[in-house]
Structures are given as C-alpha cells and as structure tokens.
Structure 1
Amino acid sequence: MSDTLTSEVGAPDRFAAPVRHLVSIDDLSDDELFRLAARGAQFAAGTAGRPRPLAGLVAGIYFAKTSTRTRTAFSSGALRLGASIVTYGPGDLQLNTGESTEDTGRVLAGMLDLLVARTAGPEAELRGWAAQDRMSVVNAMSAEEHPTQALTDLTTLLGHFGRIEGLRVLYVGEGNNTAAALALALTRYPGVELHLRTPAGYGLTADVSARALIQCARTGAVLTERHDMAELPEGLDAIYTTRWQTTGTSKPHADWRERFAPFQVTAGLWERSPMAVFLHDLPAHRGEEVVAEVLDGPRSIAFTQARNKLNSAMAVLEFTHGGTR
C-alpha cells in the first residue's frame, strides 16, 4: 500500500495517548483537581501564556438544553486553544431516532477529538459516549452533576482568596447538580467546611452525600446539611446560591415556591459574616433565590465567577489533551 495513504491505525498521533474524560468530579484524582483549579486561575490572571494544545483538533459542542455561559465558554475556549468546532443543537443527532449513545459515541469518535455535551439527562448517557478510546468526553451538565461548574467555582475561590484549604462556605437552596459537584469538589480540600441549607425533599442525594463524606474522612473537611435557616454558622468566607428552577428539571410539589421561600439569600446573611463573598452560578432571578441588593452588591463576585467559566473551560480542554498533568 502506498505510503501516502493513511490507515486508521497509522495516522493519528492524536490517538497515541489515552484520552481523558471528565464526566464526574470523581473521575479526577486530587492532584488533577487541584491542578485544574490552579490552571484556571492562571488563565484568569493572564499568566497561563498563549498555549494552543488543541491546534489541528476538532471539538464537538453538543447542547441538548439551553446554555449561555457554559456553551460560550467551551466554544470560545476551544477556539482560543486552537481547535475547530462543530456545534449540535437538541434536534441534530440521531439520538432522537433511537440510536444508542454508545453507537453515537463510536461514530463521533471517528470524526471528533473531543466532545463537550450538556444533556441534563442521566450521567449514563455521557458514560455511553465515553465508552470508546478515541474521543475525550466532557460533561457540561447532567442531571446528577455539573462538574465543570464546580471547577469554575474552585477557580473563582482560588483567585479571590489565594487558597481553598480551610475556607468556610455556606450553600443555600436546592441540592441540585451544581450543589452535588461543589460538595464532591470542596471536600477534597483539607479543612474546608461546606454547610448546605436546603428545603426538605430538595437536598443532596444520599449517594452524593455518602461520596462527599468519604472525602471528608480522608481530608478532614466538614460537610453538613440542614433543612432550615436557623443557627447559621458565622465567619463564613463565601455564601453561594443557584436559581430555584434548575435547567431541565421540574419540581414534584405544587407548592414548591413556598417551600423554597425561607431559603432566599438576603443581606441579613452578612450580619454574622460581613466579609463573605457572594457566589451564584447564574442565570439569576432577582427577588427569588437572591435579592438584587446582594447579587449587585459589593460582596458579589458572581460575574467574576461567570467570566471564569471561560478560564476553567480552557483548563479542562487543555487537560483532555495532555495538559495539567
């Protein structure tokens, strides 16, 4: 056979190294997690240089659910790192006609180098895409977990405080996929305290709590969850909330707004923690999960956090193809 012809076995240097997926925070070692947060902070600070590790590669960007920050961050980040991108909307793949995620993954892996996907469905869908060894798969949000949001949060905390170890964080609101990823990430850091206040019936799943508590036993972190707003800890470093209507979900109770109302973030939460910063993964609904006085106030770093979506996305994309080792 002519040397000018390229076989599936011979051409791709891009297939020489094992691909790396990010479907869950638990897919990362401690060192990988810490390095990703640090690398995101380097991109945020402008000290990461101008690497192009994805030059010549093609990234698929598939969002079955709406997205402003995450979709833009990964699309822009892939382009900045040298990749070309192919985008897919919710009606573009043959998944809609019954093709399995495994088959779709095998097909896309022959044409793409990495796939960033938001399904808002079960994590098993993303695991199906990742059941091949040619294309990296990044979870841009599943029903169970939003791992790239947690990495954004770590990047933001590290950039603001210069450390994550020992921080005291209060999370208020639904124990959704953002809260799950945050719990799995923060409990990797020694001395961190994560206190969750969630409405009854809307807390972390038992599985996520168990996984996070295993981390606590190993690192000395603290995880607590209560379903009221009484006896809040003082001296907090950060107060975090998310919108009450999580993308792709609905509430099982008709009176859910009444159940959530006591968990609105107001300026009163700063009486015992005046130096705490405010975090929100956005989009925000002022007057629901948070009042405008807080979101737009001097302690809010929510829009810095939003900008860090790009910086964290670049760290993740670099990680999938050889960086952040």
Structure 2
Amino acid sequence: MSGTAVRHLISINDLTDADLRAIVERGAAFSAGEARPAGALAQDIVGVYFAKTSTRTRTAFSSGALRLGGRLVSYGPGDLQLNTGETTEDTGRVMSRMLDVLVARTAGDPAELRGWASQDRMSVVNAMTADEHPTQALTDLTTLLGHFGRVEGLRVLYVGEGNNTASALALALTRFPGVELDLRTPPGYGLEAPFAARASEQAAASGAVFRERHDMDDLPAGRDVIYTTRWQTTGTTKPDPDWRTLFAPFQVTPALWEHSPKAVFMHDLPAHRGDEVVAEVLDGPASIAFEQAENKMHSAMAVLEWCRGALAPEAAPSAPAAPAARP
C-alpha cells in the first residue's frame, strides 16, 4: 500500500496501546465471525521464514495471508544466504524489494529481525525469538476478549517457566486496567529482568497488578485464567541436568481449581501431557487451549492487516477506567 508507513512487529513494545487494542479487537471479530477477510493483502507477497519448528504459528500466518488474498513465498532454515555469511541487513534490503511482509521465526537473538527491519519497504513480524513471542500474546488477548468480553480486570495465574511466551504475555496484559497477573516460576527460571521491570512499570501506570514468585505456596484465589506452557521451549535447552526436580511442583493439576473453580485453562501448545499439565486438565471442560490455537489464525490476519495499513489503530476505543476493587 503505497504511502503507508511500514510497520514492524518485533516486540509487543513496538505497539502503542491503540495498536494493541486494534489488533486484539480485530482478531476477536474475525474469531466471532463478525468480520470477514476483505482482500487486504490482494496485491501483496508474504514471505514465511521459519528456522525452527512450528505448527500453529506457521500455519496461522500462511492460512491468514491466503485468506486475506496474499500470496506466499516460504523458506526453510537452509534456504537463505545468511548461511553463507550475508548480513541480516543486506538480506532484509534484498527481500524488501520483492516482498511486502516477512514473517520470521529464528528462536534466537531479536537483533537478527531488527536487521531485517532496518529497511523501509517491507514489514517484519516476529514469529518467535528466544526472548519474546509477541504474536502469541496477541493470540492470548484475542482469546481472552472473545471468551470474557473484556481484558480489563481479568485475573490470570501463569504457572511455569518465565519463557518467551510469558515475557510477551506480561508486556501485553499489564497495559490493561485492573488486570492481575501472577507468575509462579521455578527458581532460576523466572521472567528475564528487563521484561519483569517493564511489566511492573506498565502495571503501575495502567492500574494493573504484576507479581512473580518462585514457589507454589499461598496461591491467589478466584483466578479467571490458569495458563501454562510446555517446559521444554522450542529451540532451548536447560543447563541444569536436574531441572525437572525444580519444575515438578509447577505442574498444572486439578488441585489448582480448588482455589479458582471458575477458571479456564490456557496453553500455547504444543503440550506434553504428564509434564507441565495433566491430561485431565488439558482435555477437560475448563480447557480453551484448542480454541486459543485456532485464534492464532484470526490474530495473524489482524497483525497482517495492521502491518499493511488496513487496520487503523486510531479506530480502537480509548482504555476504559479500571474496574472497581473486588471485596
């Protein structure tokens, strides 16, 4: 779309509050069938580059681009001249003359994606780096909005490693008034300090609450959502050979619902039943994990529309006031 400034999504921090709300509301509208793909990418070519494995994110962006009328060029981990020493900046400059959007998963340093985004012709979307998974957070908020009708005031308990999914979720949720986000992460496997600091700052500014502890004692009651991710994140290994001993108390079991009987269960998938969650929870009536997975596609379409200027952030409503304190 000529005349439209190029928009990149490398981190949730790249989005204004209005951007964030616009994408989440558009994704929820797609999910509910209240919006239909309208050919926003009819003249566009979307590159899809995944250096690491992916089922949901790759399929979501590929399917979403096609539904919006775009065409795809797909790359595998051995296909680019990055492997022969070409710089990320040069790769981005070349691709930007042939593609309109590049969706990329490296599971490595986000600086690589920043290199691709150093040109002004092609949008770059982070489909997961080692530190952050921003499109997962957008999917999660799309799911919350669709299920609860709001994000404001929700009480979320996240249990497990402070990985890239947790980082993005913390950056996104703490912008919404009245949200309570409690992270329970194993000792030594908490949220990286810059993300925890940013989440705390945002929570103080928005009227949200952000807390992190490294035990499973004195869990908060009355949670709306219990969320976990798999213990072995894509593309990572753990230096401690005895890490499973540390993680064992953080398994999600039906016992967590004793304090939060109305909570729904979320998981970014893939799941390993018997590790981070038992089958009774993942496949049980409280689970919305597979609806959450479907929303990857709806959220991906909203992201692509935003990148190409077809989704105006100014259309998003201003943030409502924080809900009244609960007794």
- Would you call these one fold, judging by a TM-score over 0.5? yes
Task: State the Cα distance separating 1:241 from its structure 2 match.
Answer: 0.2
What residue number does 2:288 align with? 301
> Residues of 2 paired with 1:307 and 1:217: CA distance?
32
> Residues of 2 paired with 1:55 and 1:88: CA distance?
21
Q: Of 3, 15, 19, which residue of structure 2 is paired with 1:32?
A: 19
**TM-score (ref. length: structure 1):** 0.95
Q: Of 84, 93, 107, which residue of structure 2 is paired with 1:97?
A: 84
Task: State the Cα distance separating 1:289 from its structure 2 match.
Answer: 0.2
> Residues of 2 paired with 1:51 and 1:20: CA distance?
20
Alignment of 1:187-226 (within 5 A): 187-226=174-213
What residue number does 1:283 align with? 270
| Corresponding pairs, count | 312
Q: Of 139, 151, 159, which residue of structure 1 is paired with 2:138?
A: 151
Alignment of 1:133-144 (within 5 A): 133-144=120-131
> Residues of 2 paired with 1:311 and 1:114: CA distance?
17
> Residues of 1 paired with 2:32 and 2:2: CA distance?
32
1:270 matched to 2:257? The reply is: yes
What residue number does 2:33 align with? 46
What residue number does 2:101 align with? 114
Task: Report SS of the residue matched to 2:138.
Answer: helix
Task: Report SS of the residue matched to 1:316.
Answer: helix
Give the partner amino acid of 1:175.
G
Task: State the Cα distance separating 1:322 from its structure 2 match.
Answer: 1.1
1:251 matched to 2:241? The reply is: no
Q: Are the aligned partners of 1:140 and 1:146 in contact in 2 as well (CA < 8 Å)?
A: yes
Post-superposition, which runs of at least 4 consecutive aligned residues in structure 1 deviate over 3 A? Answer: none
Alignment of 1:174-193 (within 5 A): 174-193=161-180
Q: Are the aligned partners of 1:15 and 1:134 in contact in 2 as well (CA < 8 Å)?
A: no
Unaligned segments of structure 2, at least 5 residues: 313-327
Task: Report SS of the residue matched to 2:244.
Answer: helix
1:58 matched to 2:38? The reply is: no
What residue number does 2:303 align with? 316
What residue number does 2:69 align with? 82
What residue number does 1:173 align with? 160
> Residues of 2 paired with 1:95 and 1:295: CA distance?
39
Give the partner amino acid of 1:82.
G
Whose Rg is larger?
1
What residue number does 2:54 align with? 67
Task: State the Cα distance separating 1:93 from its structure 2 match.
Answer: 0.4
Give the partner amino acid of 1:322.
G
Moved more, 74-83 or 49-58: 49-58
Task: State the Cα distance separating 1:324 from its structure 2 match.
Answer: 2.3
What residue number does 2:8 align with? 21
> Residues of 2 paired with 1:269 and 1:110: CA distance?
52
Task: State the Cα distance separating 1:217 from its structure 2 match.
Answer: 1.3
Task: State the Cα distance separating 1:151 from its structure 2 match.
Answer: 0.2
- Determine what percentage of the aligned residue pairs are the same residue: 73
What does the per-residue CA deviation read over 1:245-272, in whole Å, with 9 as the maximum and x for residues that have no partner? 0001000100011110110000000001
1:130 matched to 2:140? The reply is: no
What does the per-residue CA deviation read over 1:156-207, in whole Å, with 9 as the maximum and x for residues that have no partner? 0000000000000000000000000000000010010000000011000110
**TM-score (ref. length: structure 2):** 0.95
Task: Report SS of the residue matched to 1:169.
Answer: strand
Q: Are the aligned partners of 1:22 and 1:139 in contact in 2 as well (CA < 8 Å)?
A: yes
